[in-house]
Amino acid sequence: MVSSWRRWLWVGCLWLALTPTMQAEDGSRLWLRQSAVAAVEVEIPKQSQTLQIAADELRKGWLGQPVSLRLKKEKGVSAEGFSICRREGKVVLTSASETGLLYAAYHLLRLQATAPDNWPDEVIENPSYPLRILNHWDNLDRTVERGYAGRSLWDWEALPSTLSDRYEAYARANASIGINGTVLNNVNASPQILSHDYLLKVQALADLFRPYGIRVYLSVNFASPMVLDHLSTADPLNPTVIRWWKAKVKEIYSLIPDFGGFLVKANSEGQPGPCDFGRSHADGANLLADALQPYHGIVMWRAFVYSPSDADRAKQAYLEFKPLDGTFRSNVIIQVKNGPIDFQPREPYSPLFGAMQHTPLMAEFQITQEYLGHSNHIAYLAPMWKEFFRFVAPSSLKAIAGVSNIGTDANWCGHPFAAANWYAFGRLAWNAELTSEAIADEWLSQTFDTRQTASPTLHTDLRHLMLASREAVVDYMMPLGLHHQFAWGHHYGPEPWCDVPGARPDWMPSYYHKANADGIGFDRSHTGSQATAQYPDSIAALFDDVHRCPDEYLLWFHHVPWNHRMPDGSTLWESLCRHYDQGVQQVRAFQKIWDQSEPYIDRERFLQVQTLLKTQMRDAIWWKDGCLLYFQQYADMPFPADMERPIHTLDELKRVKLSISNYECPTPEELNRQR
């Protein structure tokens, strides 16, 4: 007689054998999770790789009427734009270009996932920008500067002969949200990327990306002629240097006919540039622009420059580039970070936007969370980028770029919610008028099937979590306009007390917080560095007045007494304490929301997010305790009675020394060991 436990084991094995297993949700499918095999009838106007991709996507996922793709120019629809309408029992997608039809196919699938019964009979979409570009800070050794999701996607040793399946999946994800360009390598560029051997590798990627409407760009080192071919100079006005760049560009286009152009970081943080030879940024950019112009290539010249000087670091890009307005070639675009310092959790917009009336500008956003908890914290960044667009009209920009957060991790971006920022960047680059709420709705519906679950509140609860997440990070890290209070080297934890002998002053937190017995904050008003004068008169007047300056920028523009009265009647010290505490309480609320989602989320992603939220909770307390205990030394005021008291001492927190590479995000387990 079979024993009882063996009988139940046999029954269990039989049940497993007969029951289909659920696909593990490791996040690798991103927001493209259509699993149906619809086999819908799709009519295409001709055979091509791009149109075949569009048809295949629809055949895999579209559950509605037959679809007809039509190549036709329509009034009010741009070359990459498209229309979608229902006509004679069919859904008709129309565009003047094959890439436009591919975008239309992905948009139709997005409508099905997000509003299956609530989309109009006719949809017309045109991109806000002709150039919608991801910047990869990937190095040739496969490390990623400020990368927190594994190694670089690009396996340079295996290229060009071996192409990873991830390359096409990457192209597919980008095309689905309208991204049409990729800069493959780090702005701190190795000259080797322009060697012939590496150009053959770049060619292989360009050929694979082309059917998805994605053009390849390269970051270049300005001293490449000296490194690769031993020229004695890289002076942009030197005839030999000019000939070298023209020959190199000709070589590139012989391999990649639709090559997009160059991205350049010059005379910044040790990178070589035209200023090394007594020339201007315009001289350097125009050298490359002239070489690219016959092939319709462009130069994206970064305005991220600052040098050791007495000038307020926030003013330096404006001081260096504003006098050059109107001197750049027409195929040069100046790429400007959204704020005047460096991708802080909150910054006012860079005053260069609007100041250079005769030079095309493009905004540079950071998708990777260098200053927002790496890939350990939830920080949905669409609200930050929309905040930028409150001050900078989208129509004033020529293009838009985002520093990628993509790596070899199975889920691409490290944190399951970090993919929302890749998605949000693409959607805003396509349509800058979209709201943060609408983009969150789209991403949640496609990524977690939140509209399809039995929970009546799951979607709205998770949308609230996303929309509140960036503000929570600002609160527990650097509220009221504080900025750059990060630990030395890795930009992860707090270290307002940091003091590295011999380091540049503008790399020290004290340069920015200037806390003393009188108050806290950087005086950039007319009584200080006068950075407010770089803004248009109406904005300058707002920022310059300590009583009118928005609270979120107060300590960015003013050194404020600890007992200064805020609009709600509290003192500055009390308000600062309550913001830090509010950030901590928000993360506690996020934990509760996520825990309640357990019955409706696959176990793999649920547990990963739950673990990361524990890390974020500990980090939020670390930030709150460290900053407030440090600043209290100067304020000499008690904590408000209604806030959560510190659980650490300042001496304990000063002893925390994380060893974190610039290129790798610590796991929660590593962080806990290192503290």
Q: What is the dihedral sign for C-alpha 311, 313, 318, 323?
A: positive
Contacts of residue 175, defined as CB under 8 A and 6 or more positions apart, other chains included, come to 53, 99, 102, 103, 106, 212, 213, 214
Exposure on the CB side of residue 462, measured as CA atoms within 13 A: 29
Taking a C-beta distance cutoff of 8 angstroms, is the pair 219, 262 a contact? yes
Helix (H) or strand (E) holding 135: strand 131-135
Cα maximum dimension of the chain: 95
- Rounded (5°) CA angle 234-240-242: 70
Distance between CA atoms of 284 and 222, rounded to whole angstroms? 8
Three-state secondary structure call for residue 441:
helix
Q: From the candidates 155, 290, 342, 437, give the one annotated as an active-site residue.
A: 342
342 is annotated as an active-site residue: yes
**CA distances from residue 1 to 4, 7, 487 in whole angstroms, order as listed:** 9, 10, 68
475 is annotated as an active-site residue: no
Distance between CA atoms of 423 and 439, rounded to whole angstroms? 8
Q: From the candidates 25, 80, 98, 370, give the one annotated as an active-site residue.
A: 370
Helix (H) or strand (E) holding 90: strand 90-95
**CA distances from residue 44 to 39, 53, 95 in whole angstroms, order as listed:** 15, 11, 12
- Rounded (5°) CA angle 472-475-479: 145
Contacts of residue 457, defined as CB under 8 A and 6 or more positions apart, other chains included, come to none
Three-state secondary structure call for residue 84:
strand
Distance between CA atoms of 639 and 24, rounded to whole angstroms? 47
Q: From the candidates 269, 433, 499, 518, give the one annotated as an active-site residue.
A: 269
Q: Is the peptide bond before 599 cis (omega within 30 degrees of 0)?
A: no
Contacts of residue 560, defined as CB under 8 A and 6 or more positions apart, other chains included, come to 519, 520, 521, 546, 554, 572
251 is annotated as an active-site residue: no
Which residues participate in catalysis according to the annotation?
Answer: 269, 342, 370
